[in-house]
């Protein structure tokens, strides 16, 4: 089983920081072809699920691939989906907080979906990233159908809260 990769980078964006302008790098979505039960099982969020549940997740997920510099989520924008990182790393830019790095096995974008509020942070790819995206509607249906996912998310959210209160 894969271990979640997450670490806080002790730096803040400079006060003059502004999101990049100009042409936006392209992110390439594609239907899930390689996300079998075994590959999904390596994601800690789904590790306890049976093959039927994993097949259902694969049926609603979209694989994506983005270059370094691509912004997956922008602060204050509506949240449309949850992102699960399979390869690469992303940086989570929280206002007035440290930059948090997330990697393989981690998920981002859940807060705006669970609370039905705008995104609270900017998430950008710090390297080439491959992952899965699950829409708001599909996530809500998954949480109803598979409460073990909600329990796994709750544990991770609590761990993150404890991590953030240490700073």
pLDDT one-digit tens code per residue, 69-104: 999 999 999 998 899 999 999 999 988 888 999 999
pLDDT at 33: 53
CB contact set of 49 (below 8 Å; sequence gap of 6+): 40, 41, 57, 146, 148, 149
In this structure, which CATH number among 1.10.1060.10, 2.40.340.10, 2.60.120.10, 1.20.910.10 belongs to the domain 27-165?
2.60.120.10
- Alpha-carbon span 139 to 134, nearest angstrom: 6
Q: Which of 17-31, 35-49, 82-96, 126-140 has the lowest mean pLDDT?
A: 17-31
Q: Where are the beta strands (DSSP E) in the chain?
A: 6-9, 28-31, 62-66, 71-73, 81-87, 90-93, 99-102, 107-108, 122-125, 129-135
Q: Is the pLDDT of residue 8 over 50?
A: no
> pLDDT value at position 36?
65
SS3 66: strand
Rg (CA), the chain: 15
Model confidence at 30, pLDDT cuts 50, 70, 90, reads: low
Asked if residue 3 has pLDDT above 50, the reply is: no
Domain boundaries, the chain: 27-165
CB 109 within 8 A of CB 82: yes
């Amino acid at each position: 089983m894969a271990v979640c990769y997450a670490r806080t980078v002790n730096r803040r964006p400079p006060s003059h920081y502004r999101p990049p302008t100009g042409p936006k790098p392209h992110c390439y979505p594609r239907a899930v072809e390689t996300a079998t039960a075994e590959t999904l099982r390596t994601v800690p969020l789904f590790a306890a699920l049976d093959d039927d549940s994993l097949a259902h997740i694969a049926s609603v997920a979209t694989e994506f691939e983005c270059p370094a510099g691509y912004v997956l989520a922008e602060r204050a924008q509506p949240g449309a989906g949850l992102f699960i990182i399979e390869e690469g790393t992303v940086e989570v830019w929280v206002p007035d907080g440290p930059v948090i790095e997330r990697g393989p096995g981690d998920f981002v974008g859940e807060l705006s979906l669970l609370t039905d509020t705008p995104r609270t942070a900017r998430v950008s790819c710090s390297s080439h990233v491959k992952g899965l995206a699950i829409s708001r509607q599909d996530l809500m249906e998954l949480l109803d159908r598979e409460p073990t996912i909600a329990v796994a998310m709750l544990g991770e959210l609590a761990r993150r809260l404890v991590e953030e209160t240490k700073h």
